[in-house]
A and B are shown apart, each in its own frame.
Chain A
Amino acid sequence: MNAEVRSMKTTAEQALAEAFAAARATLPGDSRVLALREAAFGQFDALGLPHRRIEEWKYTDLRALMREARPIAGAPDAAAKARAAKAGALAGDIDARRVVFVDGTFVPELSDLGDLSAGLTIRSMAQALAGGDLLLAAHLGQVLPPEREGVVALNTALMRDGALIHVARGATLERPIHLVFAATGSKPASVFTRSLVVIEQGARAMLVESHDAAGAHQVNNAIEIAVGDEAHVDHIKIVDGPDDLLHVSTLMAAIGARARFNDFSFNIGGGVVRNQLFVRFDGEGTLAGIRGASLLKGKQHVDTTLVADHKAGGCQSREVFACVLDGESRGVFQGKIIVRPHAQQTDAKMMTRALLLSNEAEADNKPELEIFADDVQCGHGATSGALDQDIKFYLMARGIPEPEAEALLVQAFVGEAIEGIEHAGLRDALIGEVVAWLQARSGG
């Protein structure tokens, strides 16, 4: 049986097994961390790369899309660091504390860790793994997705660096933290970043994650966020990169009681992007907005997979996702709202909309509700379609040329989701990116 399974391994799976065997001794962490890595790799090894016969990966067959595994990225050279200097520009010129990772390694000279406000701790994950860290020991791997999640297991096995952030009870961060991830090495490589963010009770923080890449890299990024009771957290993630970039990202958030959690995913680049969001409501009375917008062209494949798991009652969640598809792109949205048996008074509404600008584009929307409580308000809606020709004619009849008319309507379409971002500067920056995308589309 074992022999059979092994014989079915793909080239990429074999390469990953070899890479793990070669790297395990040099990856950061003591024997406990190594044990965690070994267990995680064992889990991945048993599952293999996710493929279309696994329901959650039905539309994004990673086994088929990832023909080979790139070698694991080494420490970034000067050229890669120089190329990373401009990374994160999509977030606009917001006043944020930049913490920069190039090819999966923390780069202190590009980061701003000086003058940390009271209650804020930021460390490199690699240092924390290597040197031991109480926070890490208490929290790492505590906010995990549902079982059988191979890419997260692979991330745990091969994680090299990332951010370890702690915001103390009651602390308010005036400036957002901007985690800048740049895959800018000259040779295609695989990058495994892992971050852990712990926001204690009543604290207030905003976290921006931006992912830029140059070259045919394979990025596997994961972040765990623990949000304490009454805390207020904004998390915005931006993904950009070339057409040969493979980017798999997983957010795992556990939210306490009476908290506020505002999440936004913005995808504007990358060849194959899988954006996974697992949000768990552990305490009552929390308000959460989980939103996103994706703009796809060419042959891009962008998959947003969301699970909002209401374990505690009395929480309100709003999920709004918009996807604009041009060219031969393919957009996938899978959204599941789970309401556990005792999570009464849950109020969850999910809306996903796809706008097809080309006849060759494809949108797959799969909203699901799994409700085990009887006193809840839950709903979902999904639409997909082309631009309304009558409305376009109305705009053109007022003198607005066709490309501008379409741009105005596309902006309005994604605007509904983007409006959910509380930070005005970031909101404007992303709207600016939408405008630039539209201008590039119409060749202007």
Chain B
Amino acid sequence: MTTQRKTEGTNEVPMLEVRNLHVNLDGREILKGLDLAVNKGEVHAIMGPNGSGKSTLAYVMAGKPGYEATEGQILLDGENLLDMEPDQRAAKGLFLAFQYPLEIPGVATMTFLRTALNAQRKARGQGEMSTPEFLKLVRETAGKLEIDQDMLRRGVNVGFSGGEKKRNEILQMALLQPRLAVLDETDSGLDIDALKIVADGVNRLRSPERAMVVITHYQRLLNHIVPDVVHVLSRGRIVKTGGKELAFELEAKGYAEFQDEAALTP
């Protein structure tokens, strides 16, 4: 097993540790030696300009085919996710809230949720959840996210608005109770009311036992989901790390400075 590095200033072993990650997509290197450590209980924001590699980071963590890690590791509780299939990663406690959730015609949302939940339970050696227990859990969780029952009977995300799709992502996250949630541009396409519902849903899931990585281009989402740490990703690397005030700085000044910085330190 790999050795575990301790983060500065704490005695904790980070829940998530990304080490020197290099990722190619279609033969082009997108991530160029990315390092990141996130402790349990923390919410980290990753901000960066378009094309800096934010979504690539999200996808390579979840194991999307085509995203090839040529070097480095992604350790979740000390285990390298890169050695696992996407479903095994999910069973380990990783959840990716998609920027563009997919539509699955013919698979009812309820069936999807139930299959996913039971598959994860099975992978962890737990028994299936009983039908009444499951239905109650879904009803309650969906209610808080203002998702009506009719939507749950329809095909996954089929005919859903952008906001409904994002709420459906948070519903899945709430049901699956991941250890580590990666939210990829969860604010994109949301109006302010929908943003609030989604952010409230995420905030309810904040817990000392759970970590979150919030990927966003804009600071707006971070008014609602207040991060503990903010990183700036530019040209495939983390180029600056700071507190939540860094997000405001970026909002005011834009990313130009970091793009230059990254350009100067190839």
A interface with B by C-beta (< 8 Å) = 388-391, 393-402, 404-405, 408-409, 411-413, 415-416
Let me know if B102 is at the binding interface, CB within 8 A. yes
Q: Chain A nearest CB: distance from B51 CB in Å?
A: 20
Q: Chain B nearest CB: distance from A28 CB in Å?
A: 47
Q: Is B91 in contact with A399, judged by CB distance below 8 angstroms?
A: yes
Let me know if B86 is at the binding interface, CB within 8 A. yes
Let me know if B106 is at the binding interface, CB within 8 A. yes
Most chain A CB neighbours (cut-off 10 Å) among B89, B115, B176 = B115
Q: Is A401 in contact with B87, judged by CB distance below 8 angstroms?
A: yes
B-chain residues with CB within 8 Å of residue A391 when the two chains form the complex: 102, 104
Complex CA gap A216/B95 in Å reads 51
B-chain residues with CB within 8 Å of residue A389 when the two chains form the complex: 65
Most chain A CB neighbours (cut-off 10 Å) among B62, B87, B89, B119 = B87
Q: Is B106 in contact with A394, judged by CB distance below 8 angstroms?
A: no
B-chain residues with CB within 8 Å of residue A408 when the two chains form the complex: 107, 111-112, 115
A-chain residues with CB within 8 Å of residue B56 when the two chains form the complex: none
Q: Is B104 in contact with A398, judged by CB distance below 8 angstroms?
A: no
Q: Is A399 in contact with B106, judged by CB distance below 8 angstroms?
A: no
Chain B minimum-CB-distance residue to A396: B86
Interchain Cβ contacts under 8 Å between A and B, 17 examples: A388-B102, A393-B65, A395-B104, A395-B116, A396-B90, A397-B63, A397-B87, A398-B116, A398-B120, A399-B119, A401-B119, A404-B119, A408-B111, A408-B112, A409-B104, A412-B104, A416-B106
B30-56: CB near A (< 8 Å → 1, else 0) gives 000000000000000000000000000
Complex CA gap A412/B156 in Å reads 11
Q: Chain A nearest CB: distance from B147 CB in Å?
A: 17
Q: Chain B nearest CB: distance from A126 CB in Å?
A: 44
Q: Is A393 in contact with B119, judged by CB distance below 8 angstroms?
A: no
Q: Chain B nearest CB: distance from A242 CB in Å?
A: 30
Let me know if B73 is at the binding interface, CB within 8 A. no
Q: Chain A nearest CB: distance from B85 CB in Å?
A: 7
Complex CA gap A266/B234 in Å reads 55
In B100-131, the 8 Å CB interface with A consists of 101-102, 104-107, 111-112, 115-117, 119-120, 123
Besides the known contacts A397-B87, A398-B120, 17 further A-B residue pairs in the complex with CB atoms under 8 A apart? A393-B62, A393-B63, A393-B65, A394-B98, A395-B112, A396-B85, A396-B86, A397-B63, A398-B87, A399-B117, A399-B120, A400-B87, A400-B119, A401-B85, A408-B107, A409-B104, A411-B106
Complex CA gap A412/B104 in Å reads 9
Chain A minimum-CB-distance residue to B91: A399
Chain A minimum-CB-distance residue to B172: A398
B-chain residues with CB within 8 Å of residue A400 when the two chains form the complex: 87, 115-116, 119
Complex CA gap A262/B90 in Å reads 43
Let me know if B96 is at the binding interface, CB within 8 A. yes
Let me know if B6 is at the binding interface, CB within 8 A. no
Let me know if B220 is at the binding interface, CB within 8 A. no
Chain A minimum-CB-distance residue to B106: A412
A-chain residues with CB within 8 Å of residue B112 when the two chains form the complex: 395, 398, 408
Q: Return the 10 tightest CB-CB contacts between A and B, nearest first.
A: A412-B106, A399-B90, A398-B116, A399-B120, A396-B86, A396-B87, A394-B102, A412-B107, A399-B119, A400-B119
Q: Chain B nearest CB: distance from A423 CB in Å?
A: 20
Chain A minimum-CB-distance residue to B94: A397
Q: Chain A nearest CB: distance from B116 CB in Å?
A: 4
A-chain residues with CB within 8 Å of residue B86 when the two chains form the complex: 393, 396-397
Complex CA gap A233/B102 in Å reads 39
Chain B minimum-CB-distance residue to A419: B106
A-chain residues with CB within 8 Å of residue B87 when the two chains form the complex: 396-402, 405
Q: Is B85 in contact with A409, judged by CB distance below 8 angstroms?
A: no
Given that A397-B96, A398-B172 are contacting pairs, would A413 and B106 also be in contact in the complex, using a CB cutoff of 8 Å?
yes
B-chain residues with CB within 8 Å of residue A404 when the two chains form the complex: 115, 119
A-chain residues with CB within 8 Å of residue B116 when the two chains form the complex: 395, 398-400
A-chain residues with CB within 8 Å of residue B120 when the two chains form the complex: 398-399
Q: Is B123 in contact with A390, judged by CB distance below 8 angstroms?
A: no
Q: Is A390 in contact with B107, judged by CB distance below 8 angstroms?
A: no
B-chain residues with CB within 8 Å of residue A394 when the two chains form the complex: 98, 101-102, 104
Q: Chain A nearest CB: distance from B62 CB in Å?
A: 5
A-chain residues with CB within 8 Å of residue B91 when the two chains form the complex: 399
Complex CA gap A402/B88 in Å reads 10
Complex CA gap A56/B117 in Å reads 49
Q: Is B119 in contact with A397, judged by CB distance below 8 angstroms?
A: no
Chain B minimum-CB-distance residue to A405: B87
Q: Is A415 in contact with B123, judged by CB distance below 8 angstroms?
A: no
Complex CA gap A396/B104 in Å reads 13
Q: Is B115 in contact with A402, judged by CB distance below 8 angstroms?
A: no
Let me know if B64 is at the binding interface, CB within 8 A. yes
Contact of A412 among B64, B101, B105 (CB under 8 A): B105
